[in-house]
Amino acid sequence: MQNNTHAVAGEFAYSKAALADLAQAALAHAKALGASACDVEVTEGFGQSVSVRLGEVETIEYNRDKGVGVTVYFGQQKGHASTSDFSPQALRDAVAAAASIARYTAADDCAGLADPTRLAHNPPDLDLYHPWALSVEDAIEQARRCEEAARAVDTRISNSEGASVSTQSSHYIYANSNGFCDGYASSRHSISCSVIAESAAGMQRDYWYSVARRAVDLESAELVGQIAGNRTVRRLDARKIATGQVPVLFDASLASGLIGHFTGAISGGSLYRKSSFLLDSLGQQVFSPLVQIAERPHLPRGLGSSAFDAEGVATADRELVQNGVVNGYLLGSYSARKLGMQSTGNAGGSHNLLLASTGEDFAALLKKMGTGLLLTELLGHGVNPVTGDYSRGAAGFWVENGAIQYPVEEITVAGNLRDMFKGIVAVGNDVLIRGGKQCGSILIDNMTVAGN
């Protein structure tokens, strides 16, 4: 453990203009070497993370890093190099290294910068940067309060994996030889806690966390701890259940993972490599007609917000799925060219995917399910992106007549994502915002649950 307890440095070492100057210097050097095109990303970030276990400080970590990534093109030959040294000589060396790699690389007819007509001009400020002037002492205090709140929930909470409080700030500039040069600062803060409870039947652990761009939008340290404690205690005395076919309710903390499997399957790389179970799904009914998924890149302070993608292409609102039908893919310039399509402004991924609720709260979802399985934890990575086959270790609660009966563990839930997507019968309004995919709990009509 480091003993240093000064407040984290609350500002960047380089201004936005300084990052832009570095990017322009790299572009100029690439041009001088005869490159036909070039793009540059310059980044800087810093942060602090504190963790406490059983009331004692366990770790205090600081990070501060920076980097330049340069991609150089000679026609459709491409080379990439990077450096963490911002000196003029290091920058020239990185550009020269990228150029050297490009000269020995086979031409790829899909390589190149984004279409200049698609680049963002005068992008909006999305209010993504809210630094948290949090001293180490205050961070330790918050982590202690969080863990104390969790351990105070029940006398059966016998141990702790600790609580942590983290803050991170970064900014970057993306520039290319088609005249684009812009970037922005962003922040991300979090509080988390994990504890262990014990009964005659054995031990159980669970956790909770909150994440936001602004510290004031985080759940309080005490609330994070209380939820972690309650989630842990309710898992005590878990049982196995009989194997069978039942409805399954994915708790909101897990449900966004289902949307993640969908976005992976409609992403350009998976599609042009033909490694997706949703090939040729454009215009096809992939989900139940109840499902509506919107992409909203410009939400103020959104965890997935961005006015332009990793290539400078402007982002825009769109309805990705309407009435269960896929309206678009997630494409950057390279994958779009591979597929004979246009970039959708998704180089680097999706931006704030919102799954619309069908109106039910959590209690109504349980009632609608009647008898079945509520999932609160998934284990392992048993998802095949090529076939859609889905099989994961799981834990949760057995539900009868719309009421939770008892915790269950050591089970496996299995199905195929095609059937699971079409079997969605309700989406809750209990939305958890922890990243770029926002949704409530998801009820699926039928899955195989393997237990005894």
Per-domain residue ranges of the chain:
16-232, 238-452
The pLDDT score that the predictor gives to residue 4 is 34
The pLDDT score that the predictor gives to residue 2 is 32
Which two three-digit tokens encode residue 92?
């020239």
The structure's pTM equals 0.92
Alpha carbons 23 and 70: distance in angstroms, whole number: 9
Inter-residue contact 442 to 287 (CB < 8 Å): no
Which two three-digit tokens encode residue 24?
């322009």
The pLDDT score that the predictor gives to residue 59 is 97
The pLDDT score that the predictor gives to residue 381 is 86
The pLDDT score that the predictor gives to residue 10 is 60
Helices (H), 243-397: 252-265, 268-272, 333-339, 362-369
How far is residue 211 from each of residues 33, 72, 310, 372, measured CA to CA in Å? 45, 37, 23, 31
Reference 142, options 50, 7, 211, 229; nearest CA is 50
The β-bridge partners of 372 are 399
Residues composing the chain? 452
187 three-class SS: strand
* Top CATH class, 16-232: alpha beta
186 by Cβ neighbours in 10 Å (0-12 / 13-18 / 19+) ranks as buried
Reference 386, options 302, 240, 275; nearest CA is 275
Per-run averaged pLDDT (10 residues), the chain, 452 residues: 38 94 98 97 97 97 97 97 97 98 96 96 95 95 98 96 97 97 97 97 95 97 98 95 96 95 96 96 97 98 96 97 97 97 96 97 97 95 95 96 96 97 98 94 97 86
- Residue 322 identity (one-letter amino acid): Q
